[in-house]
Amino acid sequence: MAQAFLNSACEGLLHGQSAGLEPGELNPLAVAVMREAGIDISKNSTQSAFDLYKAGKAFAYVITVCDEAAGEQCPIFPGVTRQLHWSIADPSALTGTWEERLAATRLIRDRIKERVTEFCADVCPSLSAV
């Protein structure tokens, strides 16, 4: 979700890539709530943070989005100039009915969008003037 919002909000100025500790399947809850927000992530693929590191990709920023309170591990990128951490719950860890998890995922989506908007305004001040 963060990658999609960043690539939309900072289009042409920054390019986000998403990776987890281990590649897996796209979370259908995330796909559903992003579709509600007008963004289709259903065709996105997953990748591991280690794959990005091994590929030698350089990043000006790395933003980890994991919930330290839930004991989630966040990847570390050596040599990165700026690493930010946003402690946000993982939709895949939610429990309850589909509707309950969907409602909670909407809150997570909105929090991520808020953080991305703030980040883009800080890093690309010209965007807030538009």
Residue 70, pLDDT score = 52
| pLDDT over threshold 50, residue 110 | yes
Q: Identify the H or E element spanning 63.
A: strand 61-65
* Sign of CA pseudo-dihedral 41, 44, 48, 49: negative
Query: Is 26 within 8 Å of 35 (Cβ atoms)?
Result: no
Residue 79, pLDDT score = 67
Which pTM does this prediction carry?
0.84
| pLDDT over threshold 90, residue 77 | no
Residue 119, pLDDT score = 93
| CA separation for the pair 3, 16 (Å, rounded) | 5
| pLDDT over threshold 80, residue 54 | yes
Look-up of token digits 């559903």: 32
Summarize the confidence of residues 57-75 as an average pLDDT. Answer: 74
Query: What number of other Cβ atoms are within 10 A of residue 1's Cβ?
Result: 25
CA distances from 6 to 10, 32, 49, 116 (A): 6, 18, 18, 6
